[in-house]
Structure 1
Amino acid sequence: MSLWMRHHAEDHSSSSGPVCVRALGTLFFGRAHCQQDITTMGYDLYGQALISLNTDIQDAETAWSLSVVKSAMVLELYEMIAFNPASGWLKHAGGVGRLIELRGPWRHQPPEARRLFEATRQLIALESLAKRKRCFLESSEWKTIPWALEPDSKLNIYYLHDILCDIPGLMEDANMLQSSELSPEDFTTHHTVLSENIFSCLKTLYEWRVSWQRQNPDSCWEVLSTELSRSAGTQALFPIVFQFTSLPAATDIALYNAVLLLLLRLGFQVIGPQFDFSLAISSPQDINYGPLIPPGLAPDARSVAIEICKSVDYHLVDDRRGAGAFFLLFPLRVAWQALHPASPEAVWLKSIMSIIADSTGFEISRGLTRNDVIQATD
């Protein structure tokens, strides 16, 4: 349990804090230890937590508080473990996003509020991705104001989150191109603008990757695969896998590859087979990327997905499996989408998703190889 969650369990400034944390902890323990009676208690506590959170939101004194945001974040994690119904996590991600948006970027300048904002920003963006709807986090004020008092506190990974927050808007614009109401002139204009925006976003992503490598040299190397890879299939699909200097380094690269896959898919969808994603950057020659693919040089989307697959062993080693699995969920989903569903790699990934669900309690992992989980309706 994270430090902020421990504090929230003892926070009585709002009524929802303790019961939300109890619901999450009870469900997690029941799922992790296959104790159905304890799991059922977690379900019961969840009902109480929803009522309590709703009461806090309707209270003028607590509705804007950081405590209410924390309670909503706790229930967001609860839904990722419960994963019933399938869209539950989306509703809570949207709820957290709405609370954050109503509070405004200035309320997230104090260190504690900023750290919570940083912790939930990716999930808010994923909710918008799932709906293919523009995210309020794409605006410049949400990318600058929370860090304005301490600019150096904005870490490299948060600039990658900036790019992720732009993609839902690109998806919405791509959907608009398919509208029958557009005149040929409007279609041409929108198509040109969107194509330029996709290239611009891809260029920013590649520049981020170059900057990251300069700051993290020699951060990845190849090793023999572990028993985990072989347990997920009848053959060792990846006899050589990646080792990293740290979990943050591994999760940074996995998220970068996931964002890259989303942009490649958009590029081919909007621009077509002539989309040349290598043109977005002239990669510096003085940087050694080790076994990782340099920006702009991936031969295809499949090779990017395979790079994510080769990081699974590192993420899921016992001493970092919980955190590693959590940060790997989204990249694995995007990698699976980039592969043919009947391919050995996709079948292997599906097995890995089940291993994550069984060993960490994140039941949502098992559902990530279903097409409807990321295609929620409003």
Structure 2
Amino acid sequence: MGRQPTSGYCQTCRKRRVKCDKARPCCGQCSVSGRRCGGYDLPLRMEVYGVHTGNNGARQLVRIPTASSKPPSAPTPELRLNHVREELEAAPAYFFATWNWAPFFRPLLLSAASDEFPEINKICFRAISQGYAGRSVGDGALQNKGRLLYGRVLSEVQLLLQEPAKPRLARLGFTMIMMEVYEFTINKVRGGSPPHHVGLTHILHHCGPETFQERRLLELYRCCRAMLICQALYRQSRCFLEDTPWKTVPWRHAHKTFEDRLADIMIHMPGIAEALAVPQNRPSSLDKIKTLSAALHEWRWDWHAANSACVRRVRDATASLNDAHLAPETPALVRHMLRTTLEFDTPRQALDILYYNAAIIYLAQLDAAARGQRYPYPELLTSADQRYIRRYVAADDGGGSGGNNSNPLLLPGQARFRCQAAAEAFTTLSCVTRLLATTPGMETVVTPSAIGIVYWVLRDQMQLLEEHLQLLLSRYAIFRDPERDFGGYFVKVGDGET
């Protein structure tokens, strides 16, 4: 007699007692951890019984002990050690498989923990993965290992900050970013307020912009700049990186990418938000907002000329099933976000459009605040406005004339409302998540700021019913704890500062 296992896991994952992704012919968990997948052929578990005649003549089945039924002996020290090693080796795979933000930080973490950078980065990555795995599965010992490793990182960073050679000191920027990830992941610090941006700022100030002209250090500088823009948006305070030397000197020997040019625009937005806290600054702030909006439109046309053939709108395979369960009063824009996604050739292209739409939204909020409007700056759409949005959605979904199959993205002038920009940004998330989870190359760190800006439009400014909002947020794991991760990524100034 035997009992079939019900988990469907491969033999290796069942023995290790870890979650299996059930991929065939070899599961991804084994591939990531470097183990041989034992396959999915199910063993037969045998129990041997015999007929026993009792003193009263009654017959009954009794279990006959076999070698396999002996009580297990205490594990040897070698077996215990092997178990510990397996536990530690499995932590990174578990981290990448289960942390909701893992796809967005994966390329950066793997690159920063490579042999090109200090050993301290590898230790910090182990602290993150082991601390997360220990907390998630309730393993206090593994969680303590992560804490001890992080304590070691903090001690060594204090010593390394005395490094006199600027290029070597600059490489600690990656370590600081990884420490931010630890605080965000393990200590549950709010998305925009991990404490190590102060150390990162110290490193950049000490090294100066000329240090980051070498190719690899320029990539590092892009990551540092993205992190500090995120921090500045959260705090609504001016960032020193908007000064001209920090936007020019690192690129003396390199051409600026679309990512670089977009960051040059976004770096000015926190300073405008800070200035708006003083009512007398609002007229001059409106001029700056107009200048940045013009620069953003120019950027978008240039991006379109270079990349328009690299994006497609794809209808979700479950769209018809989803539509059948939607109430008739579900807004057209919500249906649009649920039934379609944008697909790009590269993760960088998808991130460009995500950040571009976040910048459009934030500038629109700054403009509303500068004109004295109160948060949440709701868009009070007229009947004509709603008809315009419905026509756009119908055409983009292929349900109307003039569809956008050749160019599914909004061009400057077509996005008249913040809700349109938020919808376009939202439909990039599927592609962004998938490509970042598989890309082997280096990508700039993806901070919570852009997604947070989009979240608050969905949450407060589109005036959606709660059921419609939850339909959207339930599509992506990054929205599991949005109030913690995205709190602060909206313009909080104006006559009705909150």
Residues 311 and 344 in structure 2, CA contact (< 8 A), matched pair in contact too: yes
Partner in structure 1 of residue 243 of structure 2: 139
SS of residue in 2 equivalent to 1:327: coil
Q: 1:373 and 1:210, CA in 2 relative to 1: closer, same or farther beyond 3 A? A: closer
Give the Cα–Cα distance (whole angstroms) in 1 for the partners of residues 142 and 167 of structure 2. 31
Measured after TM superposition, the shift of residue 91 of structure 1 is 1.5
Give the Cα–Cα distance (whole angstroms) in 2 for the partners of residues 121 and 345 of structure 1. 35
Residues 179 and 196 in structure 2, CA contact (< 8 A), matched pair in contact too: yes
Match of 2:260 among 158, 169, 173: 158
1:278-316 C-alpha deviation (Å, 9 max, x unpaired) = xxxxxxxxx997121111321211111111111222223
Give the Cα–Cα distance (whole angstroms) in 1 for the partners of residues 230 and 479 of structure 2. 19
Match of 1:217 among 308, 331, 338: 308
In the alignment, structure 1 residue 104 sits paired with structure 2 residue 208: yes
Measured after TM superposition, the shift of residue 118 of structure 1 is 1.2
Q: Which has the higher Rg, Structure 1 or Structure 2? A: 2
Partner in structure 2 of residue 125 of structure 1: 229
Match of 1:2 among 98, 110, 115: 110
Query: How do 1:65-80 residues align onto structure 2 when only pairs under 5 Å count?
Result: 65-80=169-184
Partner in structure 1 of residue 409 of structure 2: 292
Residues 134 and 172 in structure 1, CA contact (< 8 A), matched pair in contact too: yes
1:320-352 C-alpha deviation (Å, 9 max, x unpaired) = 447799737433211111124472553345434
RMSD: 3.6
Give the Cα–Cα distance (whole angstroms) in 2 for the partners of residues 39 and 139 of structure 1. 42
Partner in structure 1 of residue 449 of structure 2: 330
Q: 1:30 and 1:213, CA in 2 relative to 1: closer, same or farther beyond 3 A? A: farther
1:102-147 C-alpha deviation (Å, 9 max, x unpaired) = 2110111122221110122111111011111100111111111001
Q: 1:40 and 1:328, CA in 2 relative to 1: closer, same or farther beyond 3 A? A: same
Instruction: Name the % identity.
Output: 21
Q: 1:196 and 1:371, CA in 2 relative to 1: closer, same or farther beyond 3 A? A: closer
1:226-280 C-alpha deviation (Å, 9 max, x unpaired) = 569999xx7584212222222211111001001111101001110357x9xxxxx
Measured after TM superposition, the shift of residue 74 of structure 1 is 1.9
The residue identity in structure 2 corresponding to 1:330 is S
SS of residue in 1 equivalent to 2:293: helix
TM-score by length of 1: 0.76
Residues 173 and 200 in structure 2, CA contact (< 8 A), matched pair in contact too: yes
Partner in structure 1 of residue 432 of structure 2: 315
The residue identity in structure 2 corresponding to 1:122 is A
Partner in structure 1 of residue 298 of structure 2: 207
1:153-180 C-alpha deviation (Å, 9 max, x unpaired) = x211110011111111111111122xxx
The residue identity in structure 2 corresponding to 1:347 is Q
Q: 1:228 and 1:176, CA in 2 relative to 1: closer, same or farther beyond 3 A? A: farther
How many pairs are equivalent? 337
Match of 2:367 among 267, 276, 282: 267
In the alignment, structure 1 residue 198 sits paired with structure 2 residue 289: yes
Residues 8 and 17 in structure 1, CA contact (< 8 A), matched pair in contact too: no
Residues 138 and 165 in structure 1, CA contact (< 8 A), matched pair in contact too: yes
Measured after TM superposition, the shift of residue 369 of structure 1 is 4.6
Point out the more displaced range, 249-258 or 61-70.
61-70
Q: 1:321 and 1:113, CA in 2 relative to 1: closer, same or farther beyond 3 A? A: closer
TM-score by length of 2: 0.59
Partner in structure 2 of residue 356 of structure 1: 478
Give the Cα–Cα distance (whole angstroms) in 2 for the partners of residues 212 and 115 of structure 1. 20
Measured after TM superposition, the shift of residue 64 of structure 1 is 6.7
Q: 1:63 and 1:314, CA in 2 relative to 1: closer, same or farther beyond 3 A? A: closer
The gaps in structure 2 that reach 5 residues or longer are 1-108, 327-333, 378-403, 493-498
